[in-house]
């Protein structure tokens, strides 16, 4: 088949370093009967070793030419190809104990991580290669300059571990940024959580929409309803100062106040 020209709009940087590919596969630890889905298989860097380890693999690929190549190389019994935009895939329809993996297109990392949040109940774990800066934000703790909406929303749902970094030279074409691999394991059902996930998500979004503002200013028309003392939150704190537990408490408090 003809050589594939990497498409920028699909965030195509193909992993070529065999040692790194091995390292990622070992981190994933595929078992034959796993219910695994790979997002963005591309030219098969991870797909090939995964299909060797698994009875069956599903992949989601948006690029029609790459999907055609995969169809040409693998039998449908071994590889099910979902030719689609991962952002519109209903991962909940793919069965329980889902293991999601992928060297993700960096241009859609955040929306994809938020999309996958909706299916965390069906997920066993996720292993992703992403831009290092994004992973640093995912695992950042309060007080750090990387601590953001992404940190709070994902830490509310997953235990996350940054595993290792991957230099640009491992790819063709090399991306302009350093990459890293992260493991995400959904927290158990008895985790601390807000009573209403939607309110929690709104509170976190609104707080971080003005990252440098003090909370009493950044929460707009909610502010007069907040009993800061009862919450043990200083109204002068900034969004990056608050722990996940405080965001949960704030969301529940606003619910109690009927806001
Ligand atoms: N896994 C391959 C590797 O490691 O070499 C390719 C990784 S490349 C960074 C990202 C892959 O995701 C490409 O194959 C690209 O076509 C695909 N992709 C981009 N946007 C996508 C989307 N919205 N949904 C599904 N796949 C997408």
ipTM summary value: 0.99
Is the pLDDT reported for residue 2 higher than 90? Answer: no
Sheet containing 179-186: give its strands across.
79-83, 57-61, 35-39, 98-103, 123-131, 179-186, 158-166
Q: How far apart are CA 99 and CA 89, in angstroms?
A: 15
Residue ranges of alpha helices (H) inside the chain are 18-28, 47-53, 64-73, 109-117, 132-139, 149-155, 197-209, 215-218, 228-231, 244-256
CA 108 to CA 199: how far, in whole Å?
25
Query: What is the percentage of the chain residues whose pLDDT exceeds 90?
Result: 94
Question: Two tokens at 129?
Answer: 């290669």
Give yes or no for residue 65 having a pLDDT over 80: yes
HSE at residue 187, side-chain half, CA atoms within 13 A, is 13
Sole residue written with tokens 């609104």 = 206
In angstroms, the CA 234 to CA 252 distance is 17
Backbone phi, psi, residue 167, to 5°: -75, 160
The predicted pLDDT at position 240 comes to: 96
Q: Rounded to the nearest whole angstrom, what is the distance from the C-alpha of residue 24 to the centroid of ligand 1?
A: 16
Query: Which has the closest alpha carbon to 11: 89, 80, 141, 103?
Result: 103
Local confidence band at 3 (pLDDT 50, 70, 90 cut-offs): confident
* Pocket residue to mutate for ligand 1, from 42, 106, 174, most atoms within 8 A of Cβ: 42
Token pair for 136 = 């640093």
Q: Say what the pTM is.
A: 0.96
Give the ligand 1 atom nearest the CA of 85.
24
Residue 259 has pLDDT above 90, yes or no: no
79 lines ligand 1 (CB under 6 A): no
Give the closest residue (by CA) to ligand 1 atom 18.
40
- Give the confidence band of 258 by pLDDT, cuts at 50, 70, 90: confident
Tokens at 160, concatenated: 């996350």
Residue 49 beta carbon below 6 angstroms from any ligand 1 atom: no
pLDDT tens for each residue of 209-238? 998 999 999 898 999 999 999 999 999 999
Residue nearest to atom 6 of ligand 1 (CA): 42
% of the chain with per-residue pLDDT over 70: 100
Give the model confidence (pLDDT) of 90-121 as tens digits: 999 999 999 999 999 999 999 999 999 999 99
Q: Is 42 in the pocket of ligand 1 (CB under 6 A)?
A: yes
Over the stretch 133-169, which tens digit does the pLDDT of each residue have? 999 999 999 999 999 999 999 999 999 999 999 999 9
Q: For residues 182 and 185, what is the distance between their CA atoms, to the nearest angstrom?
A: 10
86 C-beta closer than 6 A to ligand 1: yes
Whether residue 151 has its Cβ less than 6 Å from ligand 1 = no
Using a 6 Å cutoff on CB, does residue 131 contact ligand 1? no
Q: From the CB of 129, is ligand 1 less than 6 Å away?
A: no
């Amino acid at each position: 088949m003809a050589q594939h020209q990497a498409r920028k709009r699909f965030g195509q940087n193909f992993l070529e370093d065999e040692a790194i590919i091995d390292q990622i596969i070992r981190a994933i630890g595929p078992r034959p009967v796993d219910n695994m889905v790979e997002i963005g298989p591309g030219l098969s860097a991870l797909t090939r070793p995964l299909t060797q380890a698994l009875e069956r693999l599903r992949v989601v690929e948006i690029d029609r030419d790459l999907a055609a190549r995969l169809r040409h190389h693998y039998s449908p019994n071994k590889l099910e190809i979902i030719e689609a935009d991962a952002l519109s895939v209903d991962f909940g329809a793919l069965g329980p104990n889902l293991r999601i993996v992928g060297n993700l297109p960096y241009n859609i990392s955040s929306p994809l991580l938020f999309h996958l949040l909706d299916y965390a109940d069906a997920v066993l774990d996720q292993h992703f290669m992403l831009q290092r800066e994004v992973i640093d934000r995912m695992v950042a703790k309060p007080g750090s300059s990387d601590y953001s909406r992404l940190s709070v929303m994902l830490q509310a749902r997953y235990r996350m571990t940054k595993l290792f970094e991957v230099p640009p030279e491992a790819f063709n074409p090399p991306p302009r940024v350093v990459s890293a691999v992260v493991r995400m394991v959904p927290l158990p059902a008895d985790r601390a959580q807000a009573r209403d996930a939607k309110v929690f998500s709104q509170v976190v979004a609104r707080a971080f929409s003005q990252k440098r503002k003090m909370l009493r200013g950044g929460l707009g028309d909610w502010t007069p309803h907040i009993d800061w003392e009862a919450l043990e939150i200083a109204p002068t704190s900034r969004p990056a100062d608050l722990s996940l537990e405080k965001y949960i408490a704030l969301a529940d408090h606003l619910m109690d106040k009927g806001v």
